[in-house]
Structure formats: C-alpha cells, structure tokens
Amino acid sequence: QYVPVKGDHVIGIVTAKAGDVFKLDVGGSEQASLSYLAFEGATKRNRPNVQVGDLIYGQFLVANKDMEPEMVCIDSSGRSSGMGLIGQDGFLFKVSLGLIRKLLAPKCEIIQELSQLYPFELVLGMNGRIWVKAKTVQQTLIIVNILEACEYMTAEQRKQALAKLSGN
C-alpha cells in the first residue's frame, strides 16, 4: 500500500473531472486532487486536454495524513521538467515499492542492461506504477515481464535472461 509523501513523483490515473480539479487515483487510501492550472503553460483559457482514464505523472505538493493529498505537474520554478500527461500508447503495470526504489537508484544496472536491448520509454512512479512504451507490442511485453521478474531474480539470472534475449 502506497502512502503519499510530499515531493514524491507518482503516476496517477484520472478518475473524475470536477470543475477545476481532477481527481486521481494514486494507489493510496485517498484520491489525490490536481488542479488544471498546475500544468506547464496552462491558463484559464488554455486548459490541458485530460480525459478520465488518462495517466498523469506529477509530484505531491501536499501530503499529510490528515488531508487529501494534492498533486501538481510543475516544479517550483514553473517548468514541467518531464511531468504532465503521459502519452496514449504504452502499458502501465504495478510492481512492489522496493523494486521502484532500486530502479531509481543512480546507475541502476537493470535499466542500463535493458537499454542495450532496444529503445523504450520508461516512467517510474514511486507508488509502484511503471509505464513502458516500446516500438512493438511484443517488445513492450518483454520489458514488462523482465521488470516484474527482476524482483525475484538475482543479478546472474537477469544477465542470463537478457543474454538469451539479445542473442535472438
């Protein structure tokens, strides 16, 4: 179960649009709120094109245990720095929180080794959600399965599996 923490970057799923505010499911006990003005370049006239069911990558502005958590998609200087609406294709899946932290560590071997295989886009949310997009459905599925299995594999097993894949 994920507990929202201020400053954490997470992937949320839009569940409702209530006037000026979006409600997102982030995997915690409560839904987070996200104002439509909290995107880069958003004004009252220029609203972001977000539908129910879309994926958003943002960070927590407010996250106490007493209040509903609040998210934004811009950082303190007003730039998006990679946050915002995540693209339409690709696949979202869930892994354990520990694996995410391992993947986010600097110089993560898993990601470096995977990038040797073929290009892909990857977004990691601290709430355990990962979004992957590769060129074909099959490549995406392979990456998803490897990341899910990384939790249970030792480094040698992983290297073996990747060697088998790149040998094909």
Q: Could you tell me the sign of the dihedral formed by the alpha carbons of 153, 154, 157, 162, in that order?
A: positive
DSSP letter for 52, please. T
Give the shortest CB-45-to-other proteins separation in angstroms. 25
Q: Which residue number, 45 or 76, has a Cβ lying nearer to other proteins?
A: 76
Q: Which residue number, 43 or 154, has a Cβ lying nearer to other proteins?
A: 154
Give the shortest CB-165-to-other proteins separation in angstroms. 5
- Beta strands of 63-153 (E only): which ranges? 70-72, 84-85, 91-94, 120-124, 129-134
Q: Which residue number, 55 or 63, has a Cβ lying nearer to other proteins?
A: 55
Q: Which residue number, 44 or 141, has a Cβ lying nearer to other proteins?
A: 141
Q: From the CB of residue 15, how many other CB atoms can be counted at a distance below 10 Å?
A: 13
Give the shortest CB-81-to-other proteins separation in angstroms. 5
**Which residues contact other proteins (rule: CB under 8 A)?**
9, 13, 15, 25, 27, 29, 51, 53-55, 57, 81-83, 86, 88-92, 103-104, 106, 108, 111, 115-124, 131, 135, 137-142, 144-145, 148-149, 151-153, 164-166, 168
Give the shortest CB-37-to-other proteins separation in angstroms. 22
For residue 166, with 0-12 CB atoms within 10 Å meaning exposed, 13-18 middle and 19 or more buried, which class applies?
exposed
The Cα–Cα gap between 38 and 117 comes to 36
The Cα–Cα gap between 48 and 61 comes to 19
